[in-house]
Amino acid sequence: MRILCYGDSNTWGYDPTSGMRFAHRWPKVLAQQLPQDEIIEEGLNGRTLVHEDPYGKGRCGSAVLEMLLRTHQPLDLIIMMLGTNDLKTMYHLNAEMIAKGVRENIKIMQNPFLYERYAIPKILVVSPIALGETILTTSPWVGEFHERSYQVARHMAKPIQEICAQYHCHFFDAASVACASKADGVHMDEENHRKLAYALAKEIRNMQKDHEKV
């Protein structure tokens, strides 16, 4: 399979200690777990679901998604993990509004006219990890996120899962297996990248088994 990993800095592999890029980020570890598949990385620091960042151009996911899908087709599976940057103070969003952003991206991914002669890929939506407590105290991102961000992050999974059910997408909650580093309360460390990759590999294998039964 050709699998597109579409996300933000936690897909890009941002190291919360150095600000550089982990070699063993979850898409790379996933590729090791699924050697028969081709893993395509499309992670970007600061990427949002549907909002333009006035301080960082080109970060709106829905604005570039069609181009990304056309660039990388044919695709068999899209893994989308976005929503963390939509928690930023400047957007003032609740969990349900963030889930609507997920919905808008799904609608783009399910548009049959984007794939020409190819089949519409399956979609696995991954709700992001929660923000850690240090986001309120010692994190370098204090101010970009606040108490409300911290609370909303803990309630995103359910409305996102409901959207996935409505649009017949697969769903996985990253917070069930991974967490943010204490270094900044936003980004995973390498160990949590591994945990997420192992869990997603298992999820994908189960999806393949279910498909074979049909």
Do the beta carbons of residue 185 and residue 122 sit within 8 Å?
no
Low-confidence ranges of the chain (pLDDT < 50): none
Phi, psi values for residue 6, rounded to 5°:
-110, 115
Q: Residue 32's pLDDT is what? A: 98
Helix axes 26-33, 190-213, angle to 10 degrees: 40
Q: Residue 214's pLDDT is what? A: 52
Nearest to 132 by CA among 117, 119, 120, 142: 142
Looking up residue 193, the CATH number of its domain turns out to be 3.40.50.1110
Q: Residue 209's pLDDT is what? A: 82
Do the beta carbons of residue 14 and residue 190 sit within 8 Å?
no
Do the beta carbons of residue 115 and residue 161 sit within 8 Å?
no
Nearest to 86 by CA among 160, 139, 13, 22: 160
Q: Residue 212's pLDDT is what? A: 67
Q: How many CA atoms lie within 13 A of 42 on its CB side?
A: 23
Percentage of the chain exceeding pLDDT 90: 96
**Chain centre to alpha carbon of residue 58:** 17
Measured over the CA atoms of residue 20, residue 24, residue 26 and residue 30, the dihedral's sign is positive
Gap between the Cα atoms of 59 and 147, Å rounded: 23
Nearest to 51 by CA among 25, 21, 87: 87
Q: Which domain holds residue 186?
A: 2-213
Task: Give the chain's domain count.
Answer: 1
* Cross-strand bridge partners of residue 39: 3
Q: Residue 206's pLDDT is what? A: 94
Q: Residue 213's pLDDT is what? A: 64
Q: Residue 205's pLDDT is what? A: 96
State pTM to two decimals.
0.96
Q: Residue 92's pLDDT is what? A: 96
Gap between the Cα atoms of 176 and 122, Å rounded: 22
